[in-house]
């Protein structure tokens, strides 16, 4: 993978905090910044995948039973081929 150079100006106090965070982890400031950006990029891509999965399966994973059936049955969701859990279960 090719690397690129990014040059930027940051506040002196922020730079000091970045160096402190990096030192606690035994990293250079550059490695710390890059790992932070990679982690943030992963989080965004993961959240996008979760959102797309939720849209694909529907927001709550299944629909409510028809109104006439609800009067005689419990009000639990009606899922004809219900998976064990939703794809986004436990993620938020």
- pLDDT averaged over 10-residue windows placed end to end, the chain, 92 residues: 89 96 96 94 92 83 49 49 55 54
DSSP string, 39-74: HHHHHHHHHHHHHHHHHHH-TTSSEEPPHHHHHHS-
Cα end-to-end span (Å), the chain: 32
Angle at alpha carbon of residue 16, lines to 22 and 32, rounded to 5°:
25
Q: What region, left, alpha or beta, does residue 21 occupy, with left being phi > 0 and alpha being psi -120 to 50 degrees?
A: alpha
Query: Model pTM?
Result: 0.54
| pLDDT for 92 | 53
């Amino acid at each position: 993978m090719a690397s690129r150079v990014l040059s930027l100006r940051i506040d002196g106090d922020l730079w000091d905090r970045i160096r402190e965070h990096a030192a606690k982890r035994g990293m250079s400031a550059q490695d710390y910044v890059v790992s932070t950006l990679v982690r943030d990029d992963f989080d965004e891509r993961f959240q996008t995948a979760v959102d797309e999965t939720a849209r694909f399966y529907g927001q709550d994973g299944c629909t409510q039973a028809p109104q006439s059936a609800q009067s005689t049955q419990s009000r639990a969701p009606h899922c004809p081929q219900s998976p064990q859990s939703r794809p986004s279960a436990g993620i938020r």
